[in-house]
Chains A and B, each alone.
Chain A
Amino acid sequence: MADTEALAEALGGQEHQAAYIFDPAAEAPVANRPAKRRRVSKKHAAQPEKPKENHARQFQPLLNGLESSECLQLRQDAFLKSWSRVQDRIDSVLRETNQSTLEAVTGFIKECTVERTDSRIPSALIITGANMASQTLLFEQLSDSLQTRAGAKVVLLRSGDASNLKAALRRIIFEVVANPSDAAEEQDLSLGNDGKRYLNYDLEALRSHLAHHPSPHVIVAFQDSEAFETGLLTDLILLFSSWLDRIPFKLLFGVATSVELFQARLLKSTCQLLYGRQFDVEQADTIVEKIFKTAVAHVDAPLRIGPAPLRMVLNRQRDQAAGVPIFVSSLKYVYMCHFYTNPFSVLLADNAPQITLQAEHLEVVRSLSSFRSHVEASLRDKAVSHVQSLLGDDDYLNRQVREQLNSSRSWARRSLRTLYILMCHQGQTSKFTQLYVDLLSQGVDGLNQLSDLVSSMRRMDPAEMMSLLNQIVTIIKDGDGNMGLKGCESESVPSVALLSGIVTDIQTLCREAEDAGRTLRSEYSGQNKIMRTTVIAQKVQLSHDAATLTSQDKSYTRLVDTVIEHVEALLRCERAEDVWLHEAWLYDFKTPYREVFMPRPRSVVQRALLRPHDYLACSCCNSSKDQIMPTLPATAILYHLYLETGSLINVADLWTAFFGIVSEDEAHGLDERTALVMFYRAMSEMRVLGFVKPSRKKVDHIAKLAWL
């Protein structure tokens, strides 16, 4: 059926056209010519339309299609709003990160006009790191800022654009000359303004153009300098330097490795033509961490991304060197998934407090796992009536759900504060992102960082302890603007007061101890014991040591104990999954992400061919083992046979085997010519899939290409 349909389509002729405009209206009987001819007159009526309106019907009703259109719309709006907010934040981070580099480079270019460094070409060596994807962004920004701020003409060269000297020159000249001119005043490039004709790779053309359109800098940027052929680079540099007195060339090199390696590739004489300065760009992983802080861990981030997808996104950054844009789009996709598939995402809308959930929503709420654990917990607390109304009273549940709306934010605040306090600890080595993911998945109790912190606090001397306490107090009081963590005095005033009180206490104790000519120490600092044991006999000394603690030391020890107790109480943060109704704001699924961003096409194709039943679900081809059934699609049969062959395949034998299999079935058995048709088709598909290629070793043989 599909066959005949496709064949009918094929007669239409468009399938054999390389490119055409799809227009079913015009496709009707007279579709021999593409539609483009006939649409000439209609086009001018095009009225501008807001692209936003395209979003109108994108979301599908959930809850078995029972979701009201109102909720649907809310969900969609919630997505647009929350993502655009996050996107803005990310954009500003990106803008800021490259800002310093941009300014430095622009400054360098500007200052070099005056200097004229003994006829050497000013060149900025920009250490971009290995990430190709972020290079593009950087160079586009550079080009923009140089054009606007330094009035320069910038040519971006990628290694793919310029394979030889002529092509490179042609491109440079074209870009510079065509840059300012709009489509209106297109001019013949080969025709100089003085009426002379130039070859299109003659820099003289550029010079004469510049005579009429003066520009202080002509900047040639080699984006991926490592990928350029050394000879080509050398030639270009030589040429530029010889034209330097007539054309103000400046160079930018994107260097992925290091300046030393870059220099080593060039001849010494060539290097001497350059007047270089090195500029470092912020590396991709620090940018990623910044984005992570503003977009993922931020208190105002509407959606909490769970540990599973986060780990995958972060691992992908590390394993595939995926780069910043991919990180951002991964986040975006997670947002899309959440709002597209989760009916409770409605609760993340701005006007959520006014929303009344549908009965279907509430039904689903009651089956949530977090609801169950909440109910169990309430029962443990003997709040029976609460539970009863939760189960029976829709209005009550609705109200309760609305009350929980802020749970995301409060959880985020708690978790961030915990994180910051943990990060204060000097010996803390793991990265913020890692710590965040761990906290998300295990809660603070599962972290060994906590016990590390506590045990090291015990051993701290008073100075260290005071600085730590001060840090903690600032964190609690001031928060962190970048993360949206506000100083939240209201709920934690007692702890702030307590901690700062302890700091002053320690200070006084210190002073007292100093006056007495001793150093203040706690019972836990093991240092003293060791010192003493080396001096005098051990047994006596150990008991003696405890006795030597002064009263200040003792009170200090007590203070340390209270501090630890308090900090432990402060660092309370459960797993995100334990929060009631976390389903509305936590997205913790692996599945669509991995398939969508890290596909395994090989195994998919392999599976389709090995076990077509998995896809077709037909009655005929179901076999427990990977047996060859005569009813399998022809290509699958051939693939099974293919797996058994060596590197060289005799087509005659393959055909015999194939025909043997196909004809054996009584019901569907094919006659020879039909089988041959299927064989042909399967063979050609095998070729298209890249499994075989022609071989000249023997007659009627093909070579195997893939070992799956």
Chain B
Amino acid sequence: MAKPEVQKNYSLKDSIYLVELLKGLVLTWKHFIFNIGASFRKGPHTIPTTWQYPEDRRPISPIFRGEHMMMLDETGRELCVGCGMCAKVCPAKCITVDNSKVPEGQEDRYAGKTYSKNFNIDLLRCIFCGFCEEACPKGAIVLGQGYELAAYTHEGCQLGKDRLLENYKKAKASGTLKPALKPVPVAGAAQKAEATSAVPEGASKAKPEVTKKVLKKAEKKAGEGE
């Protein structure tokens, strides 16, 4: 480690200090004037580093993982068949699904032969990983753009079917609706992962549903192994 160089012999200009002080004052004055101008400008987010939250909102990525919603198909039927894959894959175990046969005469409400009678997401447990979205065979559950999830009660943190469907309506109205994100399969990644002993066990057992991230990691590790 090289010692940091400390200037010991100051020139007269430096030791008088007033010149440097004036330079500093000019610098802060420039900032002051710029920000005064910015604060009088109209429109949101005029001061460069601060977002005035309730008024200014940061743009969210289109694949942001926020509040969940339950998707409907083009004819307005629920896509969910109540298979429970989401509940299985959920690492936080926050989803509970009760499935049931679609009753006679209600085929126009549900797309499949079965449907989820009860569907509940406990937001207090949810870690917004998006596994449910990736696991769902019907693309029925999608993580949307909502992130203001504060509530006063435990019940307020439960996403029942009513709230999930309402979120869908809201997303459709605001035009932020997007299809469920699916993992991008990487050619040969799973086989490679199996072939290399350096890969942890969890990754080698990976099934086709395994997430994009795990796959990528496995591939990277495999690449390093070779």
- The judgment on whether A and B are partners is no
Q: Which residues of A contact B (CB under 8 A)?
A: none
